[in-house]
Structure formats: structure tokens, C-alpha cells
Amino acid sequence: MTPDPAAAVVLLSGGQDSTTCLAWTLKRFRRVEAVTIDYGQRHRIELEAAVAVARLAGVPQSVIPCDSFRALGGNSLTGNEAVVDGVVAATGLPNSFVPGRNLVFLTLAAAFAWQRSIPHLVAGVCQTDFSGYPDCRQTTLDALQAALCAGMDFPFEIHAPLMHLTKAESVHLAQELGCLPWLAHSHTCYNGSRPACGTCPACRLRAKGFAEAGVADPLMMVR
């Protein structure tokens, strides 16, 4: 099985970062596919955003289900009970941290890519604003890349183009890549509102990034 050096799979959640990554990937690779993981997101609107963005980009998109994390529970992004904004005292991590989630999602994207001889994987993880998520660090991605290469006997390369960018720099990158119109369809709000609530941590982080970049966010947001 010969790896296609011009092919990449992007993990497309439908959020701002993965949407920007999709544009980044399209500039660098000839053959691009998007993979969206349906893990029982608190808000289905996120999945709809991923579909809309892939369609705008003209990229084939596959949705892979993953019901494991809802079953594991104990976090605020798939459950309905926990508060979103807070830190779990016992772990020192945000209660939105879902252990293993990014590792599993990237491994599923890799399994998908392996079946298609695609060696490049692109994810919108970001160390700068990593908010205490240990699976968003470059060291984690490096270790995971080694595990994927060994475990599937295939030369995977994980790209995280936003890894060391601030949110403002990400906005500038999106502007350069010409994907600001796609960001109107991306989803950020933790509360799943549309227009976005503008007050949850995710909305505030997004607004801050656009403000610092001096760029108007095309997303409709309650202000």
C-alpha cells in the first residue's frame, strides 16, 4: 500500500479552528477529505456546521460515529448534568476535559486514512490556548504520531497548523487563506445557540480573538 503524499484527512468538528485547518489543508494538499466524529455532542448544531463548511469547501466529508464517550460520561461536553465553566478539583483539569477524546478521534481519522492510503492528518488543536487540555500539546501529538505509525505500520504525519498561534493569529490566518466566509457557518458556542450566545467561555474566547485581530467575525452573535 503506497501512501499518497498529496493526500490529507482533516478532522472537521465544525468549529472555528478545524474550519481554518480545512482551508490550510486545501492550500497544501491535492486530495483532501474531511472526517467528522459524531460522539454525541451536546449540541447537534455543531455537526450541522461541519456539514455546511465541508460543502462550502467542496470537500468530501465522512461522519464516523463514536458512542464511547457518552457511555464513559463524567464530563460536560457529552453529558447534560455538569456545568461547563469550571475546573474539577481532583484533577486540576477543566471539567470539559474528556480523557482520551482527541487521541481516539485522531486514531479514528488515521484508521479512515489508512483505508485510503492517506498519510497526512490535520487537526485544529492548539497549545497556546490549550486551557489545560493535555491532549492539545505538541508532545502529545508527537507521541500519538509514533503510536499510529507503529500500530498501523504506515507513515502518518500529524499536522497541527494552529498549534502555536494565538486566537488573533488564527483569525489572521483564516483571513489570508480566504476562509472567513466559511467561519460564518462554523460553530463555537458551548450553549449551542444560533445566533451564538456571546457569553459562554467559547464565545468569549472567539470574540476576543477577532477583536485582537481587528477583524469582524462573520458569525451571527448576540452582542
The H-assigned helical ranges of 8-97 are: 16-28, 45-57, 68-72
CB of 68 to its own copies, least distance (A): 5
> Of 60, 63, 66, which is closest to residue 47 (Cα–Cα)?
63
Total chain residues near its own copies (CB under 8 A): 43
Instruction: Point out which span in 44-52, 68-76, 185-193, 210-218 binds its own copies (CB under 8 A).
Output: 68-76
Nearer to its own copies, 24 or 105 (CB): 105
Coil vs helix vs strand at 183: helix
> Of 109, 214, 117, which is closest to residue 160 (Cα–Cα)?
109
Residue whose entry in the numeric block shows the C-alpha cell 487563506: 177
Using CB under 8 A as the binding rule, whether residue 65 contacts its own copies is answered as yes
Site string for its own copies, 187-206 (x = CB under 8 A): --------------------
Residues 72-101 that bind its own copies (CB under 8 A): 72, 74, 90-93, 98-101
Nearer to its own copies, 64 or 215 (CB): 64
Residues 113-152 that bind its own copies (CB under 8 A): 114-115, 134-135, 137, 139-140, 143-144, 146-152
CB of 221 to its own copies, least distance (A): 32
User: Of the candidates 108, 168, 205, 215, which one interacts with its own copies according to CB under 8 A?
Assistant: 108
Long-range contacts of 80-87 (CB under 8 A, 24+ apart): 80/42, 84/190, 84/200, 84/201, 85/200, 85/201, 87/132
Helix (H) or strand (E) holding 7: strand 7-11
> Of 163, 67, 170, which is closest to residue 123 (Cα–Cα)?
163
Cα(168)–Cα(145) distance, rounded to whole angstroms? 28
Residues 2-41 that bind its own copies (CB under 8 A): none
Binding site for its own copies (CB under 8 A): 1, 64-69, 71-72, 74, 90-93, 98-104, 107-108, 110-112, 114-115, 134-135, 137, 139-140, 143-144, 146-153
